[in-house]
């Protein structure tokens, strides 16, 4: 399935910026539509809010340098829809849901810069304030 995933950043003054990523490939087991997929993603967020870098997505902040008092780290799921065109696939819908599940399980943490998977060692690594922390090693 081809999916268009749009998320946004909204500051405390309600200024907004959007970003769209495209997903293509296998859907997670038991999910047959974009509406079901959107619910599954939403269930792995904090009321629709998430930290973009924890799931490997770009931030779409309104600030370019230091945040202002209205700024924060949270992004929001805006829409998830089926599409016919995928200019570039970020990953599969199944993989993106797994990213959300891992981040939700680890806890949404604004101090987390990114989550990486070390293929050579089968480890999930999270970077907090530039320091790597091992989450798990696959058996």
**What is residue 123's predicted lDDT score, i.e. its pLDDT?**
55
Q: Which domain holds residue 10?
A: 2-108
**What is residue 125's predicted lDDT score, i.e. its pLDDT?**
56
**What is residue 25's predicted lDDT score, i.e. its pLDDT?**
94
Task: Answer yes or no: is 13 within a domain.
Answer: yes
**What is residue 139's predicted lDDT score, i.e. its pLDDT?**
47
**What is residue 73's predicted lDDT score, i.e. its pLDDT?**
80
Q: What is the DSSP string of 70-117?
A: T--SEEEEEEEEE-S--SSEEE-HHHHHHHHHHHHHH---TTEEEEEE
**What is residue 137's predicted lDDT score, i.e. its pLDDT?**
47
**What is residue 138's predicted lDDT score, i.e. its pLDDT?**
47
Cβ atoms of 66 and 127 within 8 Å: the answer is no
Q: Give the separation between CA 53 and CA 42, rounded to whole angstroms.
A: 17
pLDDT in tens, the chain (139 residues): 999 999 999 888 898 999 999 999 999 999 999 999 999 999 999 999 999 989 999 888 776 555 566 677 889 999 999 999 888 899 999 999 999 999 999 998 876 555 555 555 555 555 555 555 555 544 4
Task: Answer yes or no: is 41 within a domain.
Answer: yes
Task: Answer yes or no: is 122 within a domain.
Answer: no
| Domain count of the fold of the chain | 1
Task: Answer yes or no: is 136 within a domain.
Answer: no
Partners of 3 in the beta sheet? 23, 82
Task: Answer yes or no: is 128 within a domain.
Answer: no
Q: What is the pTM of this model?
A: 0.76
Task: Answer yes or no: is 42 within a domain.
Answer: yes
Task: Answer yes or no: is 35 within a domain.
Answer: yes
**What is residue 113's predicted lDDT score, i.e. its pLDDT?**
53
Task: Answer yes or no: is 69 within a domain.
Answer: yes
């Amino acid at each position: 399935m081809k999916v268009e995933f749009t998320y946004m950043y909204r500051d405390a003054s309600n200024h907004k910026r959007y970003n769209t990523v495209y997903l293509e490939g296998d859907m997670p087991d038991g999910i047959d539509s974009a509406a079901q997929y959107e619910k599954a993603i939403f269930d792995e967020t904090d009321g629709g809010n998430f930290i973009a870098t924890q799931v490997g997505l770009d931030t779409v902040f309104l600030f370019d340098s230091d945040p202002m008092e209205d700024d924060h780290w949270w992004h929001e799921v805006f829409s998830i829809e089926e599409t016919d065109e995928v200019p570039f696939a970020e990953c599969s819908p199944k993989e993106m849901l797994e990213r959300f599940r891992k981040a939700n399980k680890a806890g949404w943490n604004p101090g987390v810069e990114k989550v990486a998977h070390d293929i050579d060692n089968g480890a999930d690594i999270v970077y907090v304030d530039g320091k790597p922390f091992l989450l798990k090693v696959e058996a």
